[in-house]
Structure 1
């Protein structure tokens, strides 16, 4: 214990080491606080919109107290949908930073409404949010490098290396120094993350799962960079050379290779933007005004045979024809929608495989899945919207095709959106990949320090 206390005093006396640790603790605390603030802001936005939506519906009901049909109420009534953030969303905001988490839809064509949220400014979205995932993936390795790059070279430059290697417990000395720095780095990241998980109001079971995965991930990711630092330190280079090599490796593993892999995935699996689906659907809808109405109704009843006997459209404008060609517009891009989603999921699958080689990619995938802020979460929200949109159309079709009047009391019968429950889903395969990669590199680092002891003895 006295030896460990002595090593801790050496770290405290080093201004660079103590400043680096305090900076990491400050950054991780600010990241957790920032993430929790953003999650709370999103929840308040969702709660604030609910009464405003009811006011809009009440005003619309007062405007159309006794309509001859449901055309006007169906056209003007909006329905709120929302994707509430999970309790662990503060760890990694993911796609919630750019994808809509609140969307108002109508009984009109769905695809044109789903992807209107993609018209954001890419320059604003590029930097991303400052969250815990950013600190862990990009900043924590830099602090680890600052603490470990001169572990051996610093002693050599001070003229103490031969003396230390001649000691009978030299191997234990290196392991003790590495373990102490590793523990301090782990504490600077784990304490704020655990505090945030507790303060987020997560249930007991979910809290245990989230904390276990986060702590394992932090330990594994830091172990990778600790092992890599030991591998470089054991080469016998100068401190500047060690730092330059490790910084270059950090840039390649966290910036260059992920960017190149993303470019390769984009070219290997081309996927059109959601805006393209919106434009294709709108072109079909706008072109329907020039298509014979009987042809439009034939396409509609092909997927809705229950309204075959009611598909006749009288001369002039009729609401059931109008909503029918919106339905046909959605069906016309169904194949493109399927290809779009399959392409996105294929890219996601290959990104997960990339995590077996790049620990930063794997760790980020784990945090986004755990926080329910990744691509599958966004697609699940879109699936909820699509299912709710079918309920909205099924609600209005009997009024439109049977030409039933729609009054104030019918507004109270409209369907209500029920969001999905966000449960923590742990991608154990990705966690295992990061763990294995970290174990291999950490083992190589320990072997490097052991060889250093043997070479010193020789």
Structure 2
């Protein structure tokens, strides 16, 4: 215990250590503030749409009371992706995809991927959230604090003295690493405490699990550090090797895997879906109206009782055209959806052997900001859109007035995002990586 105390005093006396800890703490606090600003923007958007929707319907009814089909050409209905406060820690897909979708009953595929107007330069650089600080910057701090734990003793000539006086050379090295591990854990817990206060987080299982996974991830980097320093190389060599490992794990591997997944599962359907949807709708202007209405009735046979009006413009034919935009692009839609799911599954499988990628994917899923959860939201929005169609089509086709509809029932609806990952699934890959590093380090301890 005495030598452990001496190591702690030696470590905290170093200005480099204090500067490093202060810098990572400052960056962590900044990332939490950025995450909070992101959540505030989303919450403001939700508050605005709640206040706006009722006024929006009142205005449309006043303008188009006698033409419900025209009213519903303009009327928009809000469907909101429930905001998880943990998204302030791991922003994920939520910086690209909006939390609120306001849709009409027209062709859904043309509205499906609409996003907010955002500066593309901001999207390219991305947001600095706490998950970025933990996954990218904490390993750098581990390197800065630990690369010369053993080489410094050798280069200053004190290692021989240590080998004589210390009860265990291995215990000596582990004690020095443990001091640094404890210091980083203190900073990490402090940042999560600040995040809880700033983001108003609850101490639920997802929050605790995110903290626990972060601690295991930092421990993984210390086991990697221990393995490298047992080679007993110089401080310069250790620093270069550490940075090379960091570069490969954090930058090169994720970029390479992203390129591999993109090339293995290309998505030309993204363009072909758009073309098919537009052709499916726009070409119907020059197609026989009877043919369009017959196709519409194949999709909705319950509406056949409204007949086949083909003279002049009518809303039955117009919304039948809109429906064809979705129907004619259905095959491309399904292919695109399948490709995106395959990309997600392949990424998860590969990431299971790369701790930093695995941790990022788990953080996103715990925060409700993963790609799969975004796809779930889009599918739920599709179902919401279909309910609107089935409610309004009969009223439009019967040429009812807008004031026959109880518009107060159309308040913004919410989609509940669920985290579909178990604690065991999230922790096993990191535990395996830890055990692997420990096992390959055991033979190297003989060098000490």
Cα pair 2:80 2:415 within 8 Å, conserved = no
| Distance change >3 Å, CA 417–CA 278, structure 1 → 2 | farther
Cα pair 1:112 1:279 within 8 Å, conserved = no
**Deviation string, structure 1 residues 182-221 (Cα, Å, up to 9, x no partner):** 1111221232124423553445xxx331233112211221
Task: Quote the Cα distance in structure 1 between the aligned partners of 2:224 and 2:103.
Answer: 51
Aligned-pair CA distance for 1:136: 1.0
**Deviation string, structure 1 residues 265-294 (Cα, Å, up to 9, x no partner):** 111111136465334312221111011111
Moved more, 230-239 or 185-194: 185-194
Task: Quote the Cα distance in structure 1 between the aligned partners of 2:74 and 2:258.
Answer: 42
Task: Quote the Cα distance in structure 2 between the aligned partners of 1:70 and 1:256.
Answer: 56
Q: Does 1:378 align with 2:374?
A: yes
Q: Does 1:35 align with 2:35?
A: yes
Cα pair 2:36 2:199 within 8 Å, conserved = yes
Q: Does 1:137 align with 2:135?
A: yes
Task: Determine helix, strand or coil for the equivalent of 1:89.
Answer: helix
Task: Determine helix, strand or coil for the equivalent of 2:87.
Answer: coil
Paired position in structure 2 for 1:70: 68
Task: Quote the Cα distance in structure 2 between the aligned partners of 1:288 and 1:266.
Answer: 35
Alignment gaps of 5+ in structure 2: none
Choose from 148, 151, 154 the match for 2:152: 154
| Distance change >3 Å, CA 81–CA 335, structure 1 → 2 | same
Paired position in structure 2 for 1:80: 78
Aligned-pair CA distance for 1:102: 1.7
Task: Quote the Cα distance in structure 1 between the aligned partners of 2:271 and 2:120.
Answer: 14
Paired position in structure 1 for 2:100: 102
Within 5 A, what are the aligned runs for 1:31-430?
31-65=31-65, 67=66, 69-117=67-115, 122-166=120-164, 167-197=166-196, 199-203=198-202, 207-272=203-268, 274=270, 276-403=272-399, 405-410=400-405, 412=407, 415-428=410-423, 429-430=425-426
Aligned-pair CA distance for 1:356: 2.2
Cα pair 2:195 2:201 within 8 Å, conserved = no
Task: Quote the Cα distance in structure 1 between the aligned partners of 2:63 and 2:269.
Answer: 38
Cα pair 2:281 2:321 within 8 Å, conserved = yes
Task: Quote the Cα distance in structure 1 between the aligned partners of 2:434 and 2:136.
Answer: 16
Aligned-pair CA distance for 1:379: 0.9
| Distance change >3 Å, CA 443–CA 22, structure 1 → 2 | farther
Task: Quote the Cα distance in structure 2 between the aligned partners of 1:158 and 1:76.
Answer: 77
Cα pair 2:143 2:239 within 8 Å, conserved = yes
TM superposition outliers: structure 1 runs of 4+ over 3 Å: 118-124, 197-203, 272-276, 413-417, 422-428, 442-448
Task: Quote the Cα distance in structure 2 between the aligned partners of 1:447 and 1:174.
Answer: 15
Task: Quote the Cα distance in structure 2 between the aligned partners of 1:411 and 1:272.
Answer: 43
Task: Determine helix, strand or coil for the equivalent of 1:110.
Answer: coil
| Distance change >3 Å, CA 273–CA 144, structure 1 → 2 | farther
Aligned length in residues: 446
**Deviation string, structure 1 residues 127-185 (Cα, Å, up to 9, x no partner):** 11100111011111111000110010011111011211232233222111111111111
Task: Quote the Cα distance in structure 1 between the aligned partners of 2:297 and 2:417.
Answer: 37
Cα pair 2:293 2:320 within 8 Å, conserved = yes
Cα pair 2:29 2:194 within 8 Å, conserved = no
| Distance change >3 Å, CA 64–CA 172, structure 1 → 2 | same
Aligned-pair CA distance for 1:3: 2.5
Alignment gaps of 5+ in structure 1: 454-458
| Distance change >3 Å, CA 426–CA 368, structure 1 → 2 | same
Task: Determine helix, strand or coil for the equivalent of 2:27.
Answer: helix
> When the two structures are superposed, what TM-score results if normalisation uses the length of structure 2?
0.94
Task: Quote the Cα distance in structure 1 between the aligned partners of 2:136 and 2:347.
Answer: 18
Task: Quote the Cα distance in structure 2 between the aligned partners of 1:211 and 1:301.
Answer: 50
Aligned-pair CA distance for 1:30: 1.9
Task: Quote the Cα distance in structure 1 between the aligned partners of 2:402 and 2:207.
Answer: 52
Moved more, 118-127 or 361-370: 118-127
> When the two structures are superposed, what TM-score results if normalisation uses the length of structure 1?
0.92
Please provide the CA RMSD for this pair: 2.0
Paired position in structure 2 for 1:456: none
**Deviation string, structure 1 residues 93-133 (Cα, Å, up to 9, x no partner):** 00111112222110100000112328866443121110011
Task: Quote the Cα distance in structure 2 between the aligned partners of 1:223 and 1:315.
Answer: 74
Task: Quote the Cα distance in structure 2 between the aligned partners of 1:194 and 1:311.
Answer: 65
| Distance change >3 Å, CA 93–CA 178, structure 1 → 2 | same
Task: Determine helix, strand or coil for the equivalent of 1:114.
Answer: coil
Task: Quote the Cα distance in structure 2 between the aligned partners of 1:446 and 1:35.
Answer: 41
